[in-house]
Structures are given as C-alpha cells and as structure tokens.
A and B are shown apart, each in its own frame.
Chain A
C-alpha cells in the first residue's frame, strides 16, 4: 500500500504530461484543473495507506 504515496510524485513531477491548455474544464485549462485535482486525490491516497496500516500501540 505504501507505494500509493509515490503516485502523486509521478503524477505531478512528470510535467510534459499535463503542460497543455486542452481539455479545459469549467473554463480552467488542463494545466490548472489537473494539478488542482491532485489535491483531493493525494488526500485520498494517503487516507487509503493510513487505513491499511496497523495502528500504533495505544499509549
């Protein structure tokens, strides 16, 4: 599951993939909405890893 943490790095650091105006969404060029979309996706991925790990021993 920890591999999921690397996904945002790939999605956001591979700049040529998203450096374009089209397809636009709600007036936002692709470059902008694609990066903004990674905010909730990253939260979700971290949450999935969080859920799958064994919890800390209670203090």
Chain B
C-alpha cells in the first residue's frame, strides 16, 4: 500500500504536526507557572487542571492512537470478541468515580506525585514502593512503543517509507515534553481530540451512507465471518463469553493503575473535577464503540488487507478524498503524541520520586526533582524508540499484554490502603510477586495469550489471566497478612482512620 507519496494528505499532515509542535513549546507559558522549579509544575502541570482540561487530557491519553488502529483491527479480525474494549471502558468509570477522588485527596494532602508515593505514604515500606514504581515504569515502556507503531501505520499509509519520519516526530515530541512538561500534552490534547471527534463523526455518518447503511455493514461482516469460520462472528461463541467478561473487568481495574492515567488524576484541581470527569468521559467510549465498527465497515467496502492494523488507514484512503484522509491520519498521529508524552512523564515522575529520591539523593530540592524528571523523560522516550526500531513489532504487543497483567498486580497495594489499613506491606508485596510470577508464567506457557484455563468440578473455564493473577494476589496478600500479624502484632497502628 505504501506505493507512492500522497502529497495532499502529507501536506495536511505536516501542517497539523507543525501546529501542535508550536503549541507544545508554547505550552510552557500556558497557565503560567515555573515549569522547572518544581516537579508539581513540570510533572503535573501545576495541579490545577479543571474539568474540561482533565477531560481532554485523560480522554487523550486513555483512548490512544493505538486504540484507533488496534480496536478496529481486532474487530475486523475476530468480530464481536474485539468489542470487549466497550464494556471495559464503560465499567471503568463507576470505579473511577468511587476510588480516584479518594486517591486524589490523599495525594493532594501530602504532595504525592505518583502511585508509589501514595503506597509509601500509607505503608512506609520502601520495598512495596519500589515494586509499584518498577511495575509502573516497565508496563509503560511497551505502551509508548505501541503509540509509535500506531503513528508508523498512518505515516506508511501516506506513502512515506523508512524510519526517519517517525524518529523525527519523536525527537520533536521529546524536546517539547522536556521543556513544557505535562502542559504540552494537555494543550495538544484539545487539538487531537477535536480532530478525532470530527474524523469519527464524519466516518460513522458518511461511510455507512456510502455502503448502504448499518444493516448492510453488519451483514457484510456476517458473510465474511461465516466464510472465514473459527472463533469469529457478530456475536460471541459460548466459549468466548467468560474471556470477554473477564478481559473487560480486568482491563477496567488495570486502566487507572497506569502512570499515565494516574498522572491525569493527580494533575486535577479537585476531587470534584475527577467525579465530573467520571460522568463526562464516557463520551469517549461512545466514540470508541463507533471506531470499533470501522472494522466491519471495511468488509462492506470490500477491503482486503494482509495486516489487520492497516484496516483503518486503507478504509480512509479508499472512501475519502486525500485531504480528509490526511486530516484523519494527522488526528491519529497527533493522537499518538499525547499519550506518549503523558506516559513518559508518568514514568519519569516514578523514577524521580521513587528511585532517585528514595535511593540516590533523598535531600533533592524541588527544582532538582524537576531536572531529574526532565532527563528521565528523554531516556524513557529514547528507550521506547529503540524498542520500536530494533525489536520486532510483536515484542511490543506481547510486552504490552504482559504490562497490563503486571500493572493490575499493583491494584491491591494502591487501592486497598485507601479504604482499609488491615493489609500489611509484607503481605501485599508477596501477593504482588505471586500475581506477577503466576500470571507471566501462565501467559508465557500459553504462547503469550492473555487467557488461562482451569478445570474445576468437571467443567473447564477460560478467563483473562490478569484477573486470575489478581485474585491469587489478593488471596496471598490476605493469608500473608494474617500470618505476619500473628508473628508481629505490635505494629504501630495508624491513628488516622481512612475515610
């Protein structure tokens, strides 16, 4: 498909890329604050983002460019099963509403910047803090790499070959993230999300109109799946129902354990900002559901691709004039910049607060923290870039999958402590380790499929391995807590009752 360069699409792409680059550097002066004087400024944009900025920022980094490529690709490949992203991104919000304001209050009252700060604040355990911090950093790396892959897909669709364009785009991103911190993606998110909304709304109206309506789209997909056979179709096979539900639940619980989503939470102005966002953010889920349907529209448009990831770009190229395809590709590429920036900032905050400050320089000043984090964000991005350039794409996908499983294992340490002080740090650490080891081993021995199967009472159950690992994690943490409490009951009990 990358046969010749589409100049109109490319020109539009370059225009928008230049626009967000200027915005990225200008962002340092937006909502003015001394960006380099304090990590709160560089890493959290001054903890001042209100409802709308948070909506764009969290929407922009949770629903990533890779999502726009990968969800329709999965739906194109397997049908209904690929839709688990929809229940996942719905049930995440009641959870966000109930838990994240409590987390925000703890972080705000104590000046915490990362999840690991919160964990250390609650349990006073350096090892548990380090476990949470390392899990966050490791899980984030392949996620950034995926954003690059998403950007690479659209750059290729415009006819540009080689790795130079993506390297150039990434260096620019790294530089303005370095100079402006979280303000850059927050400002760019406005452009990115507006563009994505326009693209998707046009696509979901125009494409079915060209293809004979949604009825025709679904029946074309149905015919294709009938011909294809296997575990595909417009509805789930009975054996897919438990995997579907557990993937949705496990992903929803993991979603706000990631450094980039939590950075959006910590950067909010108030607990109420987060509550309002739990009500408003589902608008993006509606968008995601419509984006997923692009996978079926491809069948109605008779598109055949060798790699499912090319479904969206090819669909736009076939059905739209060059200028609109260029606009859509810009939206997706800019859509990669926002999450990549926030992810690298989240990982840099973890490194600064929970590795550098905890182990190397405990007396570090606020300005020193900001300086370390800026350098760390560069290293994280270069690491992710090297990842995409020198390792096969499949590694990034596999590691991203394992990353979701790993980050989910930090759930008990981060969330339980907000509501109860019953668990002991030793127990949570052991639960974390067991969850990660069992989950990774199970996924590995299944050929890196995210599913595990157990036989119970004559029946065989297949479910999302991350959720299984979480249940094991909690069970081990609870048992270990009981044992540790028996052995050393004289622990200094927390005087302040958690709210």
Contacts and interface: CB of A to CB of B under 8 A. Distances in A.
Given A12-B248, A28-B214, A2 B91 contact: no
B279 A36 contact: no
Contacts of A59: 270
A21 B90 CA distance: 21
B279 A46 contact: yes
B278 interface: yes
Interface residues of B, number: 39
Contacts of A20: 235
Nearest to B289: A36
B362 to A, nearest CB: 30
A45 B279 CA distance: 9
B278 A21 contact: no
B282 A15 contact: no
Interface string B217-235: 1100000000000000011
Most chain B beta carbons < 10 A, residue from A2, A35, A50: A35
A21 B235 contact: yes
B22 interface: no
Given A13-B91, A55-B272, A39 B285 contact: yes
B94 to A, nearest CB: 4
Nearest to A38: B90
Nearest to B278: A46
Interface residues on A, range: 35 or more
Contacts of A45: 94
Interface in A18-59: 19-21, 24, 26-29, 31-32, 35-36, 38-40, 42-43, 45-47, 49-50, 55-56, 59
Contacts of B213: 27
Contact of A12 (B91, B271, B289): B91
A29 B218 CA distance: 8
B98 A29 contact: no
A50 B93 CA distance: 12
B279 A19 contact: no
A8 B90 CA distance: 8
Contacts of A39: 90, 282-283, 285-286, 289
Contacts of A56: 270-272
B275 interface: yes
B236 interface: yes
Interface string B56-97: 000000000000000000000000100100110011011001
A38 B89 CA distance: 11
Contact of B97 (A15, A21, A26, A49): A49
Contact of A8 (B94, B235, B293): B94
B196 interface: no
B87 A42 contact: no
Contact of A29 (B91, B235, B248, B249): B235
B245 interface: yes
Contact of B279 (A8, A9, A47): A47
Contacts of B283: 39, 43
11 contacts: A5-B97, A12-B245, A13-B245, A15-B244, A21-B235, A27-B213, A27-B214, A32-B83, A39-B90, A39-B282, A50-B278
Given A12-B245, A45-B94, 9 more contacts: A12-B90, A13-B87, A15-B242, A21-B234, A31-B235, A32-B289, A39-B285, A43-B280, A46-B94
Interface of A: 2, 5-6, 8-9, 12-16, 19-21, 24, 26-29, 31-32, 35-36, 38-40, 42-43, 45-47, 49-50, 55-56, 59
3 interchain residue pairs of minimum CB distance: A27-B215, A27-B214, A5-B94
Interface of B: 80, 83, 86-87, 90-91, 93-94, 97-98, 213-218, 234-236, 241-242, 244-245, 248-249, 270-272, 275-276, 278-280, 282-283, 285-286, 289, 293
